[in-house]
Amino acid sequence: MSNLVSYTKEKKVGEGTFAVVYLGHQQNGPTPNRRVAIKEIKTSSFKDGMDMSAIREMKFLQELRHVNIIELVDVYNENENLNLVLEFLPADLEMIIKDKNILFGQADIKMWILMTLRGVHHCHRNFILHRDLKPNNLLLSPDGQLKIADFGLARAIPMPQDILTSNVVTRWYRAPELLFGGKHYTYSVDMWSVGVIFAELMLRIPYLPGKDDVDQIDLTFRALGTPTDRDWPEVSSFPSYNRIKIYPPPSREELRKRFIAATENALNLMCGMLTMNPQKRWDVAQCLQSPYFIELPEPTDPIELPKLTKNEA
Protein backbone atom coordinates (compact mmCIF):
# COMPACT_ATOMS: atom_id res chain seq x y z
CA MET A 1 0.00 0.00 0.00
CA SER A 2 1.78 3.02 -1.28
CA ASN A 3 1.82 6.40 0.39
CA LEU A 4 1.40 8.20 -2.90
CA VAL A 5 -2.25 7.28 -3.21
CA SER A 6 -4.83 9.71 -1.93
CA TYR A 7 -8.59 9.61 -1.76
CA THR A 8 -11.46 12.04 -1.96
CA LYS A 9 -14.58 11.83 0.14
CA GLU A 10 -17.47 13.05 -1.95
CA LYS A 11 -20.76 11.99 -0.49
CA LYS A 12 -21.84 10.77 2.90
CA VAL A 13 -23.95 7.64 2.52
CA GLY A 14 -24.40 6.41 6.05
CA GLU A 15 -23.56 6.99 9.67
CA GLY A 16 -23.46 4.67 12.66
CA THR A 17 -22.34 5.04 16.25
CA PHE A 18 -18.75 4.28 15.47
CA ALA A 19 -18.31 5.05 11.82
CA VAL A 20 -19.33 7.24 8.91
CA VAL A 21 -19.31 5.88 5.37
CA TYR A 22 -18.44 8.08 2.40
CA LEU A 23 -18.29 7.51 -1.31
CA GLY A 24 -15.14 8.68 -2.96
CA HIS A 25 -12.54 8.23 -5.65
CA GLN A 26 -8.98 7.13 -5.67
CA GLN A 27 -6.89 10.08 -6.84
CA ASN A 28 -3.70 8.59 -8.18
CA GLY A 29 -1.76 5.41 -7.79
CA PRO A 30 -2.19 2.28 -9.87
CA THR A 31 -5.90 2.70 -10.57
CA PRO A 32 -6.79 6.38 -10.63
CA ASN A 33 -10.43 7.37 -10.54
CA ARG A 34 -11.51 4.09 -9.08
CA ARG A 35 -14.66 4.47 -7.00
CA VAL A 36 -14.23 3.47 -3.39
CA ALA A 37 -16.19 3.48 -0.17
CA ILE A 38 -14.42 5.00 2.81
CA LYS A 39 -15.36 4.01 6.32
CA GLU A 40 -14.19 6.58 8.79
CA ILE A 41 -13.94 5.22 12.31
CA LYS A 42 -14.45 7.91 14.92
CA THR A 43 -11.55 7.18 17.23
CA SER A 44 -10.92 10.69 18.40
CA SER A 45 -14.26 11.14 20.12
CA PHE A 46 -14.00 8.07 22.32
CA LYS A 47 -11.93 7.88 25.42
CA ASP A 48 -11.80 4.11 25.48
CA GLY A 49 -10.18 3.81 22.10
CA MET A 50 -11.93 2.57 19.09
CA ASP A 51 -14.63 0.13 18.35
CA MET A 52 -13.74 -3.53 18.43
CA SER A 53 -15.49 -4.32 15.17
CA ALA A 54 -13.25 -1.96 13.22
CA ILE A 55 -10.20 -3.77 14.46
CA ARG A 56 -11.72 -7.11 13.56
CA GLU A 57 -12.67 -5.91 10.13
CA MET A 58 -9.18 -4.65 9.42
CA LYS A 59 -7.47 -7.66 10.89
CA PHE A 60 -9.28 -10.17 8.74
CA LEU A 61 -9.79 -8.22 5.54
CA GLN A 62 -6.06 -7.56 5.35
CA GLU A 63 -5.52 -11.29 5.21
CA LEU A 64 -8.28 -12.29 2.87
CA ARG A 65 -8.03 -11.81 -0.87
CA HIS A 66 -10.75 -13.49 -2.91
CA VAL A 67 -13.18 -12.54 -5.67
CA ASN A 68 -16.10 -13.22 -3.38
CA ILE A 69 -14.83 -11.24 -0.39
CA ILE A 70 -14.84 -7.45 -0.24
CA GLU A 71 -11.43 -5.94 -0.87
CA LEU A 72 -9.82 -3.71 1.72
CA VAL A 73 -7.98 -1.32 -0.57
CA ASP A 74 -6.18 0.78 1.96
CA VAL A 75 -6.07 2.01 5.54
CA TYR A 76 -4.94 5.46 6.52
CA ASN A 77 -5.01 7.85 9.44
CA GLU A 78 -6.33 11.38 9.23
CA ASN A 79 -7.14 13.81 12.03
CA GLU A 80 -6.75 10.99 14.52
CA ASN A 81 -9.52 9.12 12.73
CA LEU A 82 -8.95 5.78 11.17
CA ASN A 83 -10.13 5.36 7.59
CA LEU A 84 -10.76 2.05 5.90
CA VAL A 85 -10.83 2.25 2.12
CA LEU A 86 -13.07 -0.49 0.78
CA GLU A 87 -14.12 -1.62 -2.64
CA PHE A 88 -17.20 0.30 -3.84
CA LEU A 89 -20.17 -2.05 -4.13
CA PRO A 90 -23.46 -0.38 -5.03
CA ALA A 91 -25.98 -3.12 -4.15
CA ASP A 92 -26.59 -5.97 -1.77
CA LEU A 93 -28.58 -9.16 -1.97
CA GLU A 94 -31.27 -7.88 0.38
CA MET A 95 -32.15 -5.08 -2.04
CA ILE A 96 -32.45 -7.61 -4.85
CA ILE A 97 -34.69 -9.90 -2.81
CA LYS A 98 -36.92 -7.04 -1.70
CA ASP A 99 -37.25 -5.33 -5.07
CA LYS A 100 -40.37 -6.90 -6.45
CA ASN A 101 -39.68 -5.55 -9.92
CA ILE A 102 -36.74 -7.89 -10.24
CA LEU A 103 -37.37 -11.38 -11.47
CA PHE A 104 -34.80 -14.02 -10.79
CA GLY A 105 -34.78 -17.72 -11.47
CA GLN A 106 -33.20 -20.90 -10.27
CA ALA A 107 -30.02 -20.35 -12.25
CA ASP A 108 -29.52 -16.93 -10.64
CA ILE A 109 -30.08 -18.28 -7.14
CA LYS A 110 -27.60 -21.03 -7.88
CA MET A 111 -24.90 -18.54 -8.86
CA TRP A 112 -25.46 -16.36 -5.79
CA ILE A 113 -25.32 -19.29 -3.42
CA LEU A 114 -22.30 -20.63 -5.25
CA MET A 115 -20.44 -17.34 -4.89
CA THR A 116 -21.44 -17.10 -1.23
CA LEU A 117 -20.15 -20.59 -0.56
CA ARG A 118 -16.90 -19.84 -2.39
CA GLY A 119 -16.36 -16.80 -0.20
CA VAL A 120 -17.23 -18.72 2.94
CA HIS A 121 -14.91 -21.50 1.82
CA HIS A 122 -12.07 -19.01 1.60
CA CYS A 123 -12.82 -17.70 5.11
CA HIS A 124 -13.06 -21.15 6.61
CA ARG A 125 -9.90 -22.50 5.08
CA ASN A 126 -8.13 -19.53 6.61
CA PHE A 127 -9.67 -20.44 9.96
CA ILE A 128 -11.96 -17.44 10.12
CA LEU A 129 -15.59 -17.48 11.24
CA HIS A 130 -17.67 -14.69 9.72
CA ARG A 131 -20.50 -14.89 12.27
CA ASP A 132 -22.76 -12.35 10.59
CA LEU A 133 -23.82 -13.75 7.24
CA LYS A 134 -27.10 -12.33 5.94
CA PRO A 135 -28.34 -10.99 2.59
CA ASN A 136 -27.59 -7.48 3.78
CA ASN A 137 -23.91 -8.33 4.12
CA LEU A 138 -23.61 -9.98 0.73
CA LEU A 139 -22.75 -7.10 -1.55
CA LEU A 140 -22.94 -7.12 -5.32
CA SER A 141 -20.42 -5.49 -7.59
CA PRO A 142 -21.49 -3.83 -10.84
CA ASP A 143 -20.19 -6.83 -12.81
CA GLY A 144 -22.41 -9.16 -10.79
CA GLN A 145 -19.85 -10.68 -8.43
CA LEU A 146 -21.14 -11.33 -4.95
CA LYS A 147 -18.82 -10.27 -2.14
CA ILE A 148 -19.01 -11.07 1.53
CA ALA A 149 -18.63 -7.92 3.59
CA ASP A 150 -18.80 -6.71 7.18
CA PHE A 151 -16.24 -8.66 9.12
CA GLY A 152 -17.09 -6.72 12.27
CA LEU A 153 -18.10 -9.89 14.10
CA ALA A 154 -15.55 -12.21 12.54
CA ARG A 155 -13.02 -14.08 14.59
CA ALA A 156 -10.45 -16.79 14.19
CA ILE A 157 -11.45 -20.34 14.93
CA PRO A 158 -11.13 -20.66 18.71
CA MET A 159 -8.51 -22.52 20.64
CA PRO A 160 -10.13 -25.33 22.62
CA GLN A 161 -10.09 -23.48 25.92
CA ASP A 162 -11.63 -20.30 24.46
CA ILE A 163 -15.16 -19.39 25.38
CA LEU A 164 -17.08 -17.72 22.58
CA THR A 165 -20.06 -15.46 22.86
CA SER A 166 -23.27 -16.90 21.55
CA ASN A 167 -24.62 -13.41 20.95
CA VAL A 168 -23.52 -13.26 17.34
CA VAL A 169 -25.20 -13.38 13.94
CA THR A 170 -28.35 -11.41 13.14
CA ARG A 171 -31.26 -13.19 14.80
CA TRP A 172 -33.01 -14.60 11.73
CA TYR A 173 -29.83 -16.28 10.55
CA ARG A 174 -28.73 -17.62 13.92
CA ALA A 175 -27.95 -21.32 14.19
CA PRO A 176 -29.76 -23.40 16.84
CA GLU A 177 -26.62 -23.97 18.91
CA LEU A 178 -26.32 -20.18 19.21
CA LEU A 179 -30.00 -19.84 20.10
CA PHE A 180 -29.36 -22.29 22.92
CA GLY A 181 -26.36 -20.29 24.06
CA GLY A 182 -23.59 -22.67 22.99
CA LYS A 183 -20.09 -21.37 23.66
CA HIS A 184 -17.88 -23.76 21.72
CA TYR A 185 -19.28 -23.63 18.22
CA THR A 186 -17.30 -23.82 14.99
CA TYR A 187 -17.75 -23.24 11.24
CA SER A 188 -21.21 -24.73 11.30
CA VAL A 189 -22.77 -21.45 12.50
CA ASP A 190 -21.87 -19.85 9.16
CA MET A 191 -23.26 -22.80 7.24
CA TRP A 192 -26.63 -22.42 8.94
CA SER A 193 -26.77 -18.77 7.90
CA VAL A 194 -26.05 -19.69 4.29
CA GLY A 195 -28.82 -22.29 4.47
CA VAL A 196 -31.32 -19.69 5.68
CA ILE A 197 -30.18 -17.28 2.96
CA PHE A 198 -30.68 -20.02 0.38
CA ALA A 199 -34.22 -20.57 1.63
CA GLU A 200 -34.86 -16.84 1.59
CA LEU A 201 -33.70 -16.58 -2.01
CA MET A 202 -36.13 -19.28 -3.04
CA LEU A 203 -39.07 -17.90 -1.07
CA ARG A 204 -38.24 -14.23 -1.54
CA ILE A 205 -39.32 -13.56 2.03
CA PRO A 206 -37.23 -14.12 5.18
CA TYR A 207 -37.46 -17.80 6.06
CA LEU A 208 -37.31 -17.61 9.86
CA PRO A 209 -38.24 -14.05 10.89
CA GLY A 210 -38.38 -14.34 14.70
CA LYS A 211 -39.72 -11.35 16.61
CA ASP A 212 -37.37 -11.87 19.55
CA ASP A 213 -34.92 -14.47 20.76
CA VAL A 214 -37.59 -16.71 22.31
CA ASP A 215 -39.79 -16.45 19.25
CA GLN A 216 -36.79 -17.25 17.06
CA ILE A 217 -36.26 -20.57 18.86
CA ASP A 218 -39.92 -21.43 18.56
CA LEU A 219 -40.09 -20.48 14.89
CA THR A 220 -36.93 -22.35 13.98
CA PHE A 221 -38.17 -25.58 15.49
CA ARG A 222 -41.68 -25.16 14.18
CA ALA A 223 -40.22 -24.96 10.67
CA LEU A 224 -37.57 -27.63 10.99
CA GLY A 225 -38.55 -29.83 13.92
CA THR A 226 -37.31 -29.82 17.49
CA PRO A 227 -34.00 -31.64 17.85
CA THR A 228 -33.75 -34.49 20.33
CA ASP A 229 -30.83 -36.17 22.03
CA ARG A 230 -31.01 -38.91 19.44
CA ASP A 231 -30.13 -36.77 16.43
CA TRP A 232 -28.17 -34.18 18.42
CA PRO A 233 -26.31 -35.70 21.37
CA GLU A 234 -26.47 -33.67 24.60
CA VAL A 235 -28.79 -31.03 23.17
CA SER A 236 -30.92 -31.42 26.28
CA SER A 237 -27.99 -30.28 28.41
CA PHE A 238 -28.54 -26.69 27.26
CA PRO A 239 -30.25 -24.84 30.11
CA SER A 240 -33.00 -23.41 27.90
CA TYR A 241 -33.86 -26.75 26.27
CA ASN A 242 -36.52 -27.68 28.82
CA ARG A 243 -38.68 -24.69 28.07
CA ILE A 244 -39.19 -25.29 24.36
CA LYS A 245 -42.10 -26.91 22.61
CA ILE A 246 -41.65 -30.15 20.74
CA TYR A 247 -42.46 -30.03 17.03
CA PRO A 248 -42.10 -32.90 14.59
CA PRO A 249 -39.55 -32.46 11.81
CA PRO A 250 -41.12 -31.57 8.43
CA SER A 251 -41.65 -34.36 5.97
CA ARG A 252 -40.03 -34.24 2.58
CA GLU A 253 -43.42 -33.65 1.03
CA GLU A 254 -44.03 -30.58 3.20
CA LEU A 255 -40.67 -29.13 2.21
CA ARG A 256 -41.40 -29.79 -1.45
CA LYS A 257 -44.66 -27.91 -1.09
CA ARG A 258 -42.99 -24.99 0.64
CA PHE A 259 -40.15 -24.76 -1.88
CA ILE A 260 -42.05 -25.44 -5.07
CA ALA A 261 -39.34 -24.51 -7.51
CA ALA A 262 -36.56 -26.39 -5.74
CA THR A 263 -35.16 -29.56 -7.25
CA GLU A 264 -34.39 -32.59 -5.10
CA ASN A 265 -30.71 -31.73 -5.09
CA ALA A 266 -31.48 -28.17 -4.03
CA LEU A 267 -33.58 -29.47 -1.15
CA ASN A 268 -30.81 -31.87 -0.16
CA LEU A 269 -28.32 -29.04 -0.08
CA MET A 270 -30.64 -26.80 1.92
CA CYS A 271 -31.46 -29.54 4.43
CA GLY A 272 -27.75 -30.29 4.70
CA MET A 273 -27.03 -26.71 5.69
CA LEU A 274 -30.07 -26.56 7.96
CA THR A 275 -29.22 -29.71 9.89
CA MET A 276 -29.90 -29.16 13.60
CA ASN A 277 -26.88 -31.05 14.90
CA PRO A 278 -23.83 -28.83 14.25
CA GLN A 279 -21.60 -31.89 14.07
CA LYS A 280 -23.65 -33.35 11.24
CA ARG A 281 -24.32 -30.09 9.41
CA TRP A 282 -22.64 -30.04 6.00
CA ASP A 283 -19.37 -28.19 5.86
CA VAL A 284 -18.60 -25.79 3.07
CA ALA A 285 -16.59 -28.24 0.97
CA GLN A 286 -19.41 -30.76 1.17
CA CYS A 287 -21.90 -28.11 0.05
CA LEU A 288 -19.81 -27.06 -2.91
CA GLN A 289 -19.60 -30.66 -4.04
CA SER A 290 -23.39 -30.97 -4.05
CA PRO A 291 -24.81 -32.25 -7.35
CA TYR A 292 -27.08 -29.19 -7.23
CA PHE A 293 -24.32 -27.08 -8.76
CA ILE A 294 -23.71 -29.50 -11.60
CA GLU A 295 -27.27 -30.26 -12.63
CA LEU A 296 -29.20 -28.09 -15.06
CA PRO A 297 -29.84 -25.22 -15.26
CA GLU A 298 -26.25 -24.06 -15.19
CA PRO A 299 -25.56 -21.15 -12.82
CA THR A 300 -25.97 -17.80 -14.55
CA ASP A 301 -22.87 -15.96 -15.64
CA PRO A 302 -22.29 -13.27 -12.95
CA ILE A 303 -22.38 -10.49 -15.52
CA GLU A 304 -25.89 -11.55 -16.57
CA LEU A 305 -27.35 -11.73 -13.07
CA PRO A 306 -30.33 -9.47 -12.34
CA LYS A 307 -29.39 -6.00 -11.12
CA LEU A 308 -31.20 -3.22 -9.36
CA THR A 309 -33.50 -1.38 -11.72
CA LYS A 310 -33.04 1.98 -10.07
CA ASN A 311 -29.61 3.46 -10.52
CA GLU A 312 -28.09 4.49 -7.24
CA ALA A 313 -25.80 7.28 -8.29
Partner 1 sequence: MDEEERREMCPICKTDRYLSPNMRFLVNPECYHKICESCVDRIFSLGPAQCPYLGCDKILRRNKFKSQVFEDVGVEKEVDIRKRVFNVFNKTLDDFEGDQDEFNKYLEEVEDIIYNLDNGIDVVNVEEKLKSYEDMNRQLILANVERSRQDIMNFEQRQKFEKEMKMKKRSLERQIEQEERANAEWAKKEIVNQLSMGSSSDEVIENVKKTVKLKKSSARRKLEDLNKVLRNNPYTMLQNGKLRKKDVSKTPFTPFNGDRDLSKRYKLTTDIYNDPFIVQLEKRKDFVASGFQTSVVYDRLLTEAFLGLGCYISEEKKTQKSSLIL
Q: Is 39 annotated as a binding residue?
A: yes
Catalytic site residue from 132, 150, 190, 218: 132
Secondary structure (3-state) at 299:
coil
* Closest distance to partner 1 from the beta carbon of 30 (Å): 13
Letter string b/e over residues 63-83, b meaning 16 or more CB atoms within 10 A of that residue's CB: ebeeebbbbbbbbeeeeebbb
Q: Is 15 annotated as a binding residue?
A: yes
30-38, 147-155, 179-187, 201-209 -> range binding partner 1 (CB under 8 A) = 179-187
49-57, 75-83, 135-143, 154-162 -> range binding partner 1 (CB under 8 A) = 154-162
Query: Is 132 annotated as catalytic?
Result: yes
Alpha helices in 64-187 (DSSP H): 93-98, 106-125, 176-179
Which of these, 110, 138, 134, lies nearest to 290 by C-alpha position? Answer: 110
Residue 118 binds partner 1, judged by CB under 8 A: yes
Q: Which CB, 122 or 147, lies closer to partner 1?
A: 122
Residue 293 binds partner 1, judged by CB under 8 A: yes
Q: Is 17 annotated as a binding residue?
A: yes
Q: Is 110 annotated as a binding residue?
A: no
> ∠ at Cα 197 (194, 203), nearest 5°?
145
Residue from 1, 13, 52, 157 binding partner 1 (CB under 8 A): 157
- Give dist(CA 13, CA 194) in Å, integer: 27
Which of these, 263, 262, 285, 261, lies nearest to 273 by C-alpha position? Answer: 285
Secondary structure (3-state) at 40:
strand
Residue 212 binds partner 1, judged by CB under 8 A: no
Residues 214 to 233 in contact with partner 1, rule: CB under 8 A: 232-233
Interface with partner 1 (CB under 8 A) = 67, 103, 105, 107, 114, 117-118, 121-122, 125, 127, 157, 159-161, 177, 180, 182-188, 232-235, 237-238, 277-279, 281, 285, 288-290, 293-294, 296-299
